Amino acid sequence: MSDDTAPVSPSALPAPPSPLAARAAYWAYDVVGGLAAVLAVPAWPWLRRRGLAEGIEERLGRVPAAAAALPAPPIWVHCASVGEALSAAPLVARLRERCPQRPLVVSTTTTTGRAVARDELRADVATLLPMDALRVVDRVFRRVRPRALLVVETELWPGLFRAAARVGAPIAIVSGRLSARTVERGRWAGPLLPAALARVAAFGMQTLADAERIVALGAPSDRVHVTGSLKAARVPPSAGPPPLGGLAERRLVIAASTQPGEEEFVLQAFAPLRRVYRDALLLVAPRRPERFDEAAALLDAARLRWVRRSAVAAVGPEVEAVLLDSLGELTRFFPAAWAVFVGGTVAPLGGHNVLEPAAHGRAVAFGPHTENVAAAAEALSAAGAAEAVRSPGELARYWDGLLARREAAEAAGERARAVALARAESLQRTWELLAPLLGAT
């Protein structure tokens, strides 16, 4: 690994698979993938009824017309979904600046992520990732022939790596993170993941722990570096007008990227605050669009006077809560907030991006499950810019301390901003890793 990481014990390093074992592992992977595809056929009508079949042509290997007509071999960037696509924004901007002759293809595994790739990243081609098994993705890469493949965070797709290697595209993992649970599960795959990781030219991992885990999973240790999280490199735009009228007069608290069970958690915390602070306003932003109606039912059950963001241009003094039922707007609300709770942390999901509200100068609260963002959460807490809460009562007390005095909220927010800025060198470290692979400067 690079000099800024501690060495990994040789005993922790798995032996690389033999070529025969690697071929056998890939053959088994394709067979299992084929069986899964056949077994999914009876579920097709159900998938269509639930809207889960959207983009099936791209998943089955249809090359978008725009991809077939690109003027030069593109750089292919793969992100899982919305959060990863947004975190890739600084890297995408750097690629456009330093490699202007290279079109950008951005693939995602979700349709909401594809929308962000198209509308926010302005990719030349935004597409869903083709199916990994049965060599479907191989056929797509033979048509598109990308110059390089950059994979954001934790997307370890053996077929994708094989497809890129076969067309001579160097592969890099950027802003990589890996949980201990993923490592344990990955070992059940035998030689498959070590064979896939051997095809990767460079690994830019978020933390030393992530670097050690990817090596334990089979990555060649001399290719692994700690570069930090690209989420820390996102620079907030200059503050503009609030996205809703009436926010400037309110003590706004935000529940960001909430997951099942977390809306109830936040609503319980907010209940005593709205009795103390008549101008308090709660904005609830579920992580996934398919949960908007579920969150709406919970707001009804809490007996709050609430509105949908999509239905109003301003909030009146009688409104107590807003349901953010739109995509791509959450960060525009951060500058107007007094405090932000980040979801995926009460639900045992490892946590969502805690640095984004911090970069906007907002104090942060989160639950106990921050495994995915542990280093950032610890840095914010140590700076007095964040609070880990285990109950609605603890969240209510933390928010009460901030809402009681605007000066306290602003001071904690400035400490949060300082932590975010201190961690923003990740883009340059990532670029130094990628530039030799891309033939760029």
Active-site residue numbers? Answer: 84
Q: Beta-strand (E) ranges in 170-279?
A: 171-176, 202-205, 224-226, 251-258
> Which amino acid is located at 310 in the chain?
S
Strand partners, 340: 254, 364
User: Are 343 and 257 in contact, with CB atoms under 8 Å apart?
Assistant: yes
Specify the DSSP class assigned to residue 345: T
193 alpha-carbon distance from chain centroid: 22
User: Are 80 and 109 in contact, with CB atoms under 8 Å apart?
Assistant: yes
> Using CA atoms, how far apart are residues 263 and 286, in angstroms rounded to an integer?
8
> Using CA atoms, how far apart are residues 180 and 378, in angstroms rounded to an integer?
18
User: Are 381 and 320 in contact, with CB atoms under 8 Å apart?
Assistant: no
Which ranges in 221-309 belong to alpha helices (H)? 262-276, 292-301
Specify the DSSP class assigned to residue 6: P
For the chain, state the CA radius of gyration: 23
169 alpha-carbon distance from chain centroid: 24
Sheet holding 386-388, edge to edge: 306-308, 321-323, 280-286, 251-258, 337-342, 363-366, 386-388
Note the residue count of the chain: 441
Contacting residues for 257 by C-beta, under 8 A, at least 6 apart: 83, 285, 286, 287, 330, 342, 343, 344, 352, 353
> Which amino acid is located at 161 in the chain?
F
> Using CA atoms, how far apart are residues 284 and 267, in angstroms rounded to an integer?
9
> Using CA atoms, how far apart are residues 201 and 224, in angstroms rounded to an integer?
9
Among 226, 114, 121, residue whose Cα is nearest residue 173: 226
